Each structure stands twice: as structure tokens, then as C-alpha cells.
Amino acid sequence: MTQLEQVKKAVAFLRKKTKNFQPEIALITGSGLAESVPQLSNKITIPYTTIPGFLRSTVPGHTGNLIFGVYKGRNIVVMQGRFHYYEGHSTKDLAISIRTLKMLGVQKLLVSAAVGSMDMKLKPGSLCILKDHINFMCNNPLIGNNHEPEFGPMFFDLTEAYDKKMRKIALAASKKAKINAREGVYFAVTGPNFETPSEIQMFKKLGATVVGMSVVPEVLAARQCGVSVLGMAWVTNMGCGIAKTPLSHEETIRETKKIVGKFKTLLEILFVKL
């Protein structure tokens, strides 16, 4: 089965389950942020495990549901948990969910993630609004998907991978929600281990602000098919060598729980303003 056939099968299943609900905005929640989703009316929750062709989320802090609903007149779909390269999925398959969302009608994608910071002005609890990224995963979800024009062109521009207008709105919304936020560059690594102190210093010299193990495959798939992207990276720790204590996923979950309320407030503003 081709990926296009997989996506069409998933779309047909979801349209039947949601009575042809057409979402405009999609949100992907990062580690520990599943409970930050604003209260949606007419909510329909569909586990990933029931959707044909969808991958399985295996990481703690990633619930594994697709949630459809309405927030103040805006049709929303939420990926409550994501898929990672380090889970053993091929990068090619990481594009399935994004392409499914696009085919359902999504025009704007909000990507959130927990990250380590290399900028002392962005300490734990702060938000980095992504203005660009550096792909150090040495792989790309678009490889091998060049025969399906429905997914978009093989060669496309990434001058504005992260929508400038949406970034401006997000910065203003962060201020209103009393969140320390700055723009920065996301450095994508494969994981699952955290980085070494020397790697963190190298990333800084290359122009990165924060580092994480996701986001970029989703953004590439979204931009290829014409979906506008807003990237929001929550700082849960300082990078290795900057942090004074050893890093752990448990710390990531612990720190994200502290900002769930603020992120929910931010999303309530963004769902209306975007």
C-alpha cells in the first residue's frame, strides 16, 4: 500500500467517525502537555490505535489521541501526543499524520515541544517561538515520497518555514498570558539520549537557541503540502553542561506540568487570534 493510499484510508475513517468535521487549525502537544488543551465543544476523541495506518505513540507523556472539537467558532483538531524517529519509526512514516490532517482540511499547524535551552535568557518555564530550525537528524520524512503530487512538490522553499505573522501573534499572546517568550532557532537531533556538553557548545556556535528530538519532520511535511506552521518550544531544562544536574525524561515531564496552565491560556488566545 502506498502512503497516499494509507492517508486516504485514515481520512475516510476519520470523516465517518466525525461526520465530515473539517478542522482548520491543528495542534500537536509535546511531552507532558496533553492536559493543556482548551475545553472544546462537540468533542470527539479517537485513539491513534483505532485509526488505519496511524503510528503508535510509545513515549511517556504522549497520550495518543486525536481530538476533534470547536473552540469559540474555530474548528480544531489536536494530536494529543506525537511520533518520534527514535521510537523506531521511519522518517517517511512520520509524515502520515500531517498529511492526514491536511487532507481533512487543516490550514494551520501549531507544533509544541519540550526542549533544552542554550540561551540564558530562556530558562526553564520560558517559551521559544521558533523562527527557523537546523535539521541535524540526517534524515528527512519527504525522501521516497516524491511520486504523490497530492502531498506537494518535491522541491519547495523554506525561507519562512515558521509563519512570520503567526509568530508575531504568538509573541503578543505570550505577553498577554504573562509568559517569558523570545524567538529562536530549533536544533533537531535524533535522540533518544540527551546531548553531550561538547555537542551543546557546537549547536550554540551553529546558531541554535534550543534543542529537541521532534518538530522538524512534522514541519517539513506540513510546509510541503502548504500548511502554515507556528512552532512553540517550552524550555524544561538547560542544555547538558549548562545545567548543573543530570538530565532525564522524568524532569521534562515534571517541568512541563508546571506550565500546563499557562500553555492552556496561550492556546485559548491563539485559537481565536490565528
Which residue among the candidates 24, 87, 183, 251 is catalytic per the annotation?
87
According to DSSP, the β-strands at 74-80 and 228-238 are: unpaired
Do 112 and 262 contact (CB within 8 A), yes or no? no
Is 1 tagged catalytic? no
Is 86 tagged catalytic? yes
Which residue among the candidates 173, 237, 238, 255 is catalytic per the annotation?
237
Is 114 tagged catalytic? yes
Is 31 tagged catalytic? yes
Q: DSSP letter at 87?
A: G
Is 85 tagged catalytic? no
Is 133 tagged catalytic? no
Q: Which three cell numbers stand for residue 63?
A: 497520550
Is 213 tagged catalytic? yes
Best CA proximity match to 271, nearest among 20, 75, 103, 104: 75
| Cα end-to-end span (Å), the chain | 36
Which residue among the candidates 26, 62, 75, 126 is catalytic per the annotation?
62
Which residue among the candidates 181, 213, 221, 238 is catalytic per the annotation?
213
Question: How far, in Å, CA of 33 to CA of 63, rounded?
Answer: 9
Q: Which three cell numbers stand for residue 164?
A: 512570520
Which residue among the candidates 34, 113, 114, 188 is catalytic per the annotation?
114
Which residue among the candidates 160, 249, 251, 268 is catalytic per the annotation?
249
3-state secondary structure of 68: strand
Which residue among the candidates 10, 26, 31, 36 is catalytic per the annotation?
31
DSSP assignment string, 91-120 = TGGGGHHHHHHHHHT--EEEEEEEEEE--T
Is 214 tagged catalytic? yes
Which residue bears the cell 494529543?
A: 80
Is 117 tagged catalytic? no
Question: How far, in Å, CA of 167 to CA of 185, rounded?
Answer: 13
Is 89 tagged catalytic? no
Which residue among the candidates 65, 97, 174, 214 is catalytic per the annotation?
214
Which residue among the candidates 36, 48, 75, 84 is catalytic per the annotation?
84
Active site amino acids? 31, 62, 84, 86-87, 114, 213-214, 237, 249
